[in-house]
């Protein structure tokens, strides 16, 4: 089959499997390798040491699959409004874990590609690939000043999946960059983490600090954290390209119930796992959930939350205990 016909055949398969967007990048796509290396050298990846490992593999697909000829990038829309609640969880994490949903479909697509003679490697988030620049190279959209991938139809709300393949596919036409003079994401960021257009310092980013970071949240970021217990959507919510966002068709992303934060402070590890099983929040673990919840209660709580906060003042984990001290102090000072 000709490279164009093959690409269109696979696009039809991907859309039939429930993906919302599909594109193909050339195997030696420009993934802004120099920028990535400098970002790592500047330490902007924080504790995410895995990002610093094997940069050559991340920036050259043929180091991972030597016979690779093309790179497929697919996107799945996950947008939904946040349910009314006293605190916020990033919208991508409100329901079922996207890794499972995406990987199952990617493997199905790889199965079709195998029957066409291809050898494939699929990745969702965890592989040695730079999804966002690859998605831009595959014509899905462009990387905005917040560094997120923007797509004209779905805005910023796409999960991305990547397949390296030995099949020869015609690359998709690229999308022009459409941020223009807008700086809303930079202006809206509560911690000034977008240090320049297209440059995100993860060490200042609330998504990183509440999800990836293992230690105490540095004090300068605790008040700006506001009511965000897991992740941050601020730079996405303000993006004008989200005006046309549509609700996801994936029922498994429907939000789970959000329990009262003060109740979660008294949870055991088992209760935490039981509640968040199958969602992206589970891998946070109870102690980091408590760290984040205490920070939010320090910012937004009422006197009714004080007994639950005080019960953690002598917690065996010094990080949880210190966050409880901070939360109590903030709350009492506000009362
Ligand atoms: S996720 Fe939040 S903290 Fe991180 S860059 Fe965006 S607005 Fe800033
Ligand atoms: S908010 Fe504006 S500058 Fe930021 S990504 Fe969206 S369009 Fe681009």
Ligand nearest to the CA of 184: 2
Active site residue 125: yes
Residue nearest to atom 1 of ligand 1 (CA): 232
Ligand nearest to the CA of 177: 2
Question: Reduced to 3 states, what is the DSSP secondary structure of residue 278?
Answer: coil
Pocket of ligand 2 from Cβ distances under 6 Å: 144-146, 150, 179, 182-185, 238-241
Give the whole-angstrom CA distance, residue 23 versus residue 26.
10
**Contact present, 239 and 184 (Cβ < 8 Å):** yes
**Contact present, 76 and 162 (Cβ < 8 Å):** no
CATH number of this structure's domain 3-79+91-165: 3.40.109
Q: Which residues contact 319 (CB under 8 A, 6 or more apart)?
A: 215, 216, 287, 291
CB of residue 207 inside a 6 A radius of ligand 1: yes
* Secondary structure letter of residue 176 according to DSSP: P
Cα of 182 vs centre of ligand 2, distance in Å, is 6
CB of residue 217 inside a 6 A radius of ligand 1: no
Task: State which of 179, 180, 236, 240 you would mutate to test the pocket of ligand 2, scoring each by most atoms of that ligand within 8 A of its C-beta.
Answer: 179
Among 221, 230, 247, 235, residue whose Cα is nearest residue 185: 235
Query: Hey, where are the domains in the chain?
Result: 3-79+91-165, 259-335
Cα of 186 vs centre of ligand 1, distance in Å, is 9
Q: Which residues are bridge partners to 159 per DSSP?
A: 76
Low-confidence stretches of the chain (pLDDT < 70) are none
Q: Is 316 exposed, middle or buried (0-12, 13-18, 19+ CB in 10 A)?
A: exposed
Residue nearest to atom 8 of ligand 1 (CA): 189
Task: State which of 141, 145, 155 you would mutate to test the pocket of ligand 2, scoring each by most atoms of that ligand within 8 A of its C-beta.
Answer: 145
Give the whole-angstrom CA distance, residue 10 versus residue 167.
11
ipTM, 2 decimals?
0.99
Q: Where are the alpha helices (DSSP H) in 17-142?
A: 33-41, 49-52, 55-59, 98-115, 131-137
Residue 37: both structure tokens together: 């290396």
CB of residue 205 inside a 6 A radius of ligand 1: yes
Q: How far is CA 275 from CA 92, 267, 287, in A?
A: 17, 10, 15
Q: Which residues contact 236 (CB under 8 A, 6 or more apart)?
A: 146, 148, 155, 156, 157, 185, 242
Residue nearest to atom 2 of ligand 1 (CA): 232
**Contact present, 156 and 240 (Cβ < 8 Å):** no
Residue 141: both structure tokens together: 């959209």
- Residue in the structure block whose two tokens are 């494939």: 120
**Contact present, 161 and 102 (Cβ < 8 Å):** yes
Q: Determine the pLDDT at residue 278.
A: 95
CB of residue 202 inside a 6 A radius of ligand 1: no
Ligand nearest to the CA of 91: 1
Q: Which of 34, 97, 100, 125 is catalytic?
A: 125
């Amino acid at each position: 089959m000709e490279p164009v016909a093959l690409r269109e055949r696979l696009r039809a398969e991907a859309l039939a499997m429930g993906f919302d967007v599909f594109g193909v990048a050339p195997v030696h796509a420009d993934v802004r390798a120099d920028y990535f290396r400098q970002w790592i050298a500047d330490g902007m990846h924080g504790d995410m040491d895995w990002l610093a490992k094997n940069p050559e593999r991340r920036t050259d697909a043929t180091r991972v699959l030597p016979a690779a000829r093309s790179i497929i990038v697919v996107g799945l829309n996950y947008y939904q409004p946040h349910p009314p609640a006293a605190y916020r969880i990033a919208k991508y994490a409100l329901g079922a874990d996207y890794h499972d949903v995406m990987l199952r479909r990617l493997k199905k697509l790889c199965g079709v590609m195998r029957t066409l003679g291809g050898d494939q490697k699929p990745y969702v988030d965890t592989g040695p690939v730079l999804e966002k620049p690859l998605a831009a190279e595959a014509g899905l959209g462009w990387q905005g000043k917040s560094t997120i991938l923007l797509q004209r139809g779905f805005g910023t709300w796409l999960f991305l999946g990547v397949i390296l393949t030995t099949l020869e596919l015609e690359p998709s036409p690229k999308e022009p960059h459409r941020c223009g003079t807008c700086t809303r994401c930079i202006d809206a960021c509560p911690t000034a983490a977008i240090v320049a257009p297209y440059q995100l310092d993860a060490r200042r980013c609330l998504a990183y600090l509440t999800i990836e970071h293992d230690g105490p949240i540095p004090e300068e970021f605790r008040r700006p954290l506001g009511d965000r217990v897991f992740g941050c959507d601020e730079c996405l919510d303000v993006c004008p390209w989200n005006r046309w966002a549509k609700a996801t068709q994936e029922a498994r992303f429907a939000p789970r119930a959000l329990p009262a934060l003060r109740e979660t402070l008294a949870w055991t590890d088992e209760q935490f796992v039981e509640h968040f099983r199958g969602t992206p929040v589970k891998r946070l673990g109870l102690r980091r959930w408590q760290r984040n919840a205490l920070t939010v209660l320090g910012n937004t709580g009422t006197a009714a939350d004080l007994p639950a906060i005080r019960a953690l003042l002598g917690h065996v984990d010094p990080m949880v205990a210190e966050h409880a001290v901070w939360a109590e102090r903030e709350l009492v000072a506000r009362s």
